[in-house]
Structure 1
Amino acid sequence: MQTLNVVAFAGASNLALWAGQKHGVFARHGLEIALSLTPNSKAMASDLYAGRFDLALTAVDNIVAYDEGQGEVELPGPADFVAWLGVDDGMLNVMAAPDVADIAALRGRTVAVDAMTTGFAFVLREILGRAGIADAVEWVAVGGGAQRLAALVEGAQAATLLNTPLDLAAEAKGFRRLARAQDVVGPYQGIVAASRAGVLAERRAALVAFARAFRETLALLDADHAEAAAILADHAKMPPPVAARAVAALLDPLRGIIRDQAISDDGLRTVLRLRSHFTGKQLDDPSRYLDPSIRAEAFG
């Protein structure tokens, strides 16, 4: 039995991890998953670089940002982060306080992101920019989705970008859905599994086993949505009706967790387009941040 230390944000990717642990799927593949939730992308990048974790389930934009030296925390050396498995398209939605009728109504209000220039920050800037108000709001860095949801509920911000199931948790509390990110920015690659290049070489067999176990767990969840909802309700502390809605979204075959675990070329190109636009550095080579060999070995 090999231990894989995994760091993730609150969100869609964790359902498969929790279910795989509960039903012994990872154990059947010779793995013990030690899962930790990170408060923000700065901590994630620092901890992944320092070797505290073998892999991160994180926005691919974080991988690009740190590989390009554009991260918000300075690392001791080159990041050499590599994305190797696709999890979802971000499943991102602009969620706002009940008194905010539409995107334009955010003018003069406070809008939260994880970090100012990494994660999904540029997605939200693009959405507000297209509405002509990107420079007419107060931007604040709050941390990961769980932290942003808490700040939204507490009234510390008027809007933020949340992924599923956090968007549904906000909606259940009366908060308003203003936009679905992909409807505005187009195809988008959200969460990926990523590691340092050295870990890909040193722990290759374990990462291949992880990919296989992750896919096997998704098949198990597809076969029993009620069980998936019970797992999500227990771990995410969600009311059962909200958990059921979240599972329906997470396991939607078109818009939910990626079943073949491929990283979308079109989606990654959107990430690079947004980062190029907002940083002024032209990025146009998706292969620079990827290693498809783990997935290829896992699934042939």
Structure 2
Amino acid sequence: MKAIGKSWLAAFTAAAFIACGISAAPAAQAQQTPKLGDVTVNVFPGGFNWPSYVAEDKGFFAQHGIHVILQGTTGSVNQMTDLSQGRFDIAMTAIDNIVAYVEGEGEAPIGAQPDFVAVMGSDSSFLSLVAAPDVKSYDDLRGKTLSVDARTTGYAFVLYDMLARKGLQPDDYKIETAGGMVQRWAALQQHKQVATLLSTPFNILARNDGFNQIATATDVIGPYQGNVAATRRSWAHENKAKVVAFIRAYVEAIDWLYDPKNHDEAIAILRKNVPQMSPELAATTYGELLDPHAGFFRKGRMNVAGIRTVLALRSRYATPHKTLTDPSKYYDPTYYRAAMR
């Protein structure tokens, strides 16, 4: 399985940073000029881009008048910096990133970004704590080095809290920054660190390669709002029709993915966008990302209880200390409500 994992990783990385799986409209839509124009969406590599793949392949984006261009990122520091500079329109990102930068607690030296806002939910981020083959329990992590994307944003606080709930204090382990999911999985394979949080399908690749999945994050910390569609309030205000169109198409894609009769075509779309993903890996990915209880959030709804978990974690671990309690400061439901009419 090691050869398969590495070849898949190379293919996924290429897809993420060259075309991100969406390079051109389907033939049936090729001659159409989008009524609303282009929307550039910045993403981390991962199976959670599946709704975007489907929305493009099935023509949902085109039907709502937009042409979506997926743009890859290597980590939250680059992504949030580029968002602040308007280098893309929408970010599919952890809502914790949005909270952090609104509060001026982000790792990138760009200051507070009150213009950042989430406009749609997507998923819990499908996070699992994955460790080296010889690490079989939380206690085995004592004295070891673990990796995160950034120390103060993203999923770092999820990792800290999972460890704390199992009796590990900050002095019991070391943390290094390694970048996004692709980079952290590569570092784990190279034995640079012994454990990290990985999303589907990287956790599946890790299991297939002999690594141990210690726990699923939501099983330890409870409801969690992970990935969201986020943008700048100023851009959204000027481009409401594009935001609404994106949400509608994305929601239609999630609905389509959950329809059992689309199972085979859904896997075919995933494998078309990630050509070296094996049928077995794609089938397992389907089972995790479309689990009725733990998969993509139905209708792209925001999990408000999950946002409260994010705020509680940031209140507990972020510095300078702030008590954060109001989800509405970081999520504007106006566009989602308009899309669902």
**In structure 2, C-alpha distance between the alignment counterparts of 1:233 and 1:109, rounded to whole Å:** 36
User: Within the alignment, does 1:121 sit opposite 2:160 as a pair?
Assistant: no
* Moved >6 Å (runs of 4+): none
Q: Kindly provide the amino acid, as one letter, of the partner of residue 236 in structure 2.
A: L
Q: CA RMSD in A?
A: 1.3
Q: How many Å separate the matches in 2 of 1:102 and 1:230?
A: 36
| 1:295 equivalent in structure 2 | 336
The amino acid that maps onto 2:121 is: G
Deviation at 1:78, TM superposition (A): 3.1
Which residue, out of 109, 113, 119, partners 2:144? 109
User: Secondary structure of 1:192's match?
Assistant: strand
Cα displacement string for residues 32-63 of structure 1 (whole angstroms, at most 9, x for unaligned residues): 11101110000010111111111000000000
- The residue number in structure 1 matching 2:10 is none
Runs of at least 5 residues in structure 1 that lack an aligned partner in the other structure: none
Partner of 1:165: 201
**Count of aligned residue pairs for this structure pair:** 300
The aligned residue for residue 244 of structure 1 is 283
> Residues of 2 paired with 1:10 and 1:87: CA distance?
15
Whole-Å separation in 1 of the counterparts to 2:236 and 2:307: 20
1:5–1:54 contact (8 Å) kept in structure 2 = yes
2:105 aligned with 1:70, yes or no?
Answer: yes
Q: 1:269 aligned to 303, 308, 311, which one?
A: 308
Cα deviation for residue 65 of structure 1 reads: 0.1
State the structure with more CA Rg.
2
State the TM-score, normalizing by the size of structure 2.
Answer: 0.85
Q: 2:322 aligns with which of 281, 284, 294?
A: 281
CA shift for structure 1 position 184:
1.2
Identical columns (%): 44
2:103 alignment partner AA: E
Determine if the alignment matches structure 1 residue 195 to structure 2 residue 236.
no
**What residue identity is the alignment partner of 1:222?**
Y
What is aligned with 1:227? 265
How far is the alpha carbon of 1:76 from its aligned partner? Answer: 6.0
| Deviation at residue 128 of structure 1 after TM alignment | 1.1
Q: In the alignment, what sits opposite 2:3?
A: none
User: Please, which of 12, 15, 24 is the counterpart of residue 59 of structure 2?
Assistant: 24
Decide whether aligned partners of structure 1 residues 71 and 201 sit closer, same or farther in structure 2, where only a CA change above 3 A counts. same
Q: Are the counterparts in 2 of residues 60 and 191 from structure 1 also a CA contact under 8 Å?
A: yes
Task: Give the residue type in structure 1 aligned to 2:237.
Answer: A
User: Do residues 258 (structure 1) and 293 (structure 2) align?
Assistant: no
Measure, in 2, the Cα distance between the counterparts of 1:37 and 1:27: 21
Aligned to 1:135, the other structure's residue is in SS state helix
Query: 1:5 aligned to 25, 35, 40, which one?
Result: 40
CA deviation profile, 1:111-151 (whole Å, cap 9, x unmatched): 00000010000000111122232321120001111111111
Contact 2:254/2:299 (CA < 8 Å) preserved in 1?
no
TM-score, with structure 1 as normaliser:
0.96
**Contact map agreement 1:8 1:57 (CA 8 A) in 2:** yes
**Relative to structure 1, is the Cα distance of residues 172 and 232 closer, same or farther in structure 2, using a 3 angstrom cutoff?**
farther
Distance 2:166 2:273 in 1: 37
**Partners of 2:139 and 2:210 in 1: how far apart?**
19
Shift of 1:77: 6.0
Worse-superposed segment, 73-82 or 91-100 = 73-82
**SS of equivalent residue, structure 1 residue 260:** helix
Q: Does 2:191 align with 1:183?
A: no
Q: Is 1:62–1:71's contact at 8 Å kept on the other side of the alignment?
A: yes
Q: In 2, are the aligned partners of 1:221 and 1:227 still within 8 Å (CA)? A: no
State the match for 2:24 in structure 1. none
Per-residue deviation, 1:204: 0.7
Deviation at 1:79, TM superposition (A): 4.2
Q: Which runs of 5+ in 2 are unaligned?
A: 1-33
Query: Which deviates more, 220-229 or 94-103?
Result: 220-229
* Counterpart mapping for 1:125-140 below 5 A: 125-133=160-168, 134-140=170-176
Amino acid at match of 1:293: T
| 1:19 Cα deviation from its structure 2 partner | 1.8
Aligned counterpart in structure 1 of residue 242 of structure 2, from 172, 189, 206: 206
Q: Does 1:152 align with 2:194?
A: no
Quote the Cα distance in structure 1 between the aligned partners of 2:216 and 2:178: 21
Q: Deviations over 1:140-189 (max 9, x none)?
A: 00111111111112221100001112211211212110011111111110
Does the 8 A contact of 1:72 with 1:118 survive in 2?
A: yes
- Contact 2:48–2:289 (8 Å) recurs in 1: no
Partner amino acid, structure 2, of 1:273: A
How far has the Cα of 1:12 moved from its partner?
Answer: 3.5
Matched residue of 1:160: which SS? strand
